[in-house]
Structure 1
Amino acid sequence: MNRRILLVALMVLGAALLAGVGSLLLWQAPALAAGTAAGAATAIDPGVLRWGYMAAALVTGLSALGAAYAVASVGAAAIGALAEKPELFGRVLILVGLAEGIAIYGIIISVLILNRLR
C-alpha cells in the first residue's frame, strides 16, 4: 500500500511539473515570436508556437510517466522472477528495456515537433 501511495504521489508531482513547464512555454511563445517576427520574413504565428511547445511538453511528460509506470510494474515482476530463477536475467533485462523504450519514443517525437517549429 505504501509503494502505491508513493507511485501516485510521484505521478502527481510529475503532472504538476509538466503543467508548470507547459504554462511557462505557453506564455513565453509570444515573446519569442515577437522577436523573430521583426527580423524574419516568414514568422510563425504565436498560437502555433504555443500549441507546438505544449505538444512537445505533453509528449515528453506523458511518455516519461508511461515509461515510469511500465518499468515499475515490469521491474517488480522481474525481481520476483529473478528471485526464483536467476538464469532469466537476460530475458528480464530485455523486457525492462522495452518498457523504457516508451520514454525514448516520446523524446524522439518531441524533438521532431520542436524541429518543425523552427
Structure 2
Amino acid sequence: MTRKGQFVVSLVVITAVLAGLSSLLLGYSHAQAAEVVADGGVDPGVLRWGFLAAALATGLSSLGAAYAVAAVGTAAVGALAEKPELFGRAIILVGLAEGIAIYGVIISVLILNRLG
C-alpha cells in the first residue's frame, strides 16, 4: 500500500471513531435529560451540541495537525538528507505543526468546562 493510501485509510478510521463517539454522546436518553433539567442542570440540547462541538474541535484539529505534520515531516526529512545540521529547525517546525492538535484539545476542555 502506498503512503497516500495509508494516509487515506487512517483518515477513514479516525473519522469512523469520531462518528461513533459523537453518536454515543448524542444518544443522551430523555429520562436522563429530564433528571438533569429537574436538578437545575443544563438543557440536554445544549449538552448535545456542546459535546458535539468538543468532539469536532478535537477531531478536526487532530486531522489538521496530522496533515500538517505529514507535509512538514516529509519536507524536513528531505532537507535533513542533504543538510544534517538542520535537525533542530526541522524538529521545531514539526512541533509547531503538532501544536494545532493541542489547541483543539484546549478548546474542547474549555467547552466541556463551560457545560458543567
TM-score bin, normalised by smaller chain: over 0.9
Match of 2:44 in 1: 46
Judging changes above 3 Å, is the alpha-carbon distance between structure 1 residues 80 and 27 closer, same or farther for their aligned structure 2 residues? Answer: same
1:9-42 deviation digits (Å, cap 9, x = unpaired):
111111111111011001137555334334x3x3
Work out the CA distance in 1 between the residues paired with 2:78 and 2:66: 18
Judging changes above 3 Å, is the alpha-carbon distance between structure 1 residues 31 and 18 closer, same or farther for their aligned structure 2 residues? Answer: farther
Q: Determine which of 63, 69, 79 is the counterpart of 1:71.
A: 69
SS of the residue 1:43 aligns to: coil
Gapped regions of structure 2 (runs ≥ 5): none
Q: For residue 95 of structure 1, report the CA deviation from its aligned partner.
A: 0.2
Aligned residues: 116
Normalised to the residue count of structure 2, the TM-score between the two structures is: 0.92
Q: How does 1:21-60 map to 2 (within 5 A)?
A: 21-28=21-28, 30=30, 32-38=32-38, 40=39, 42-60=40-58
Q: Determine which of 86, 89, 92 is the counterpart of 1:88.
A: 86
Judging changes above 3 Å, is the alpha-carbon distance between structure 1 residues 116 and 30 closer, same or farther for their aligned structure 2 residues? Answer: farther
The aligned amino acid for 2:37 is A
Match of 2:3 in 1: 3
Work out the CA distance in 1 between the residues paired with 2:89 and 2:59: 28
Identity among equivalent pairs (%): 68
Match of 2:109 in 1: 111
Normalised to the residue count of structure 1, the TM-score between the two structures is: 0.91
Gapped regions of structure 1 (runs ≥ 5): none
The aligned amino acid for 2:27 is W
For the aligned residues, what is the CA RMSD? 1.6
Judging changes above 3 Å, is the alpha-carbon distance between structure 1 residues 31 and 65 closer, same or farther for their aligned structure 2 residues? Answer: farther
Deviating above 3 A after TM superposition, structure 1's stretches of 4 or more consecutive aligned residues are 29-35
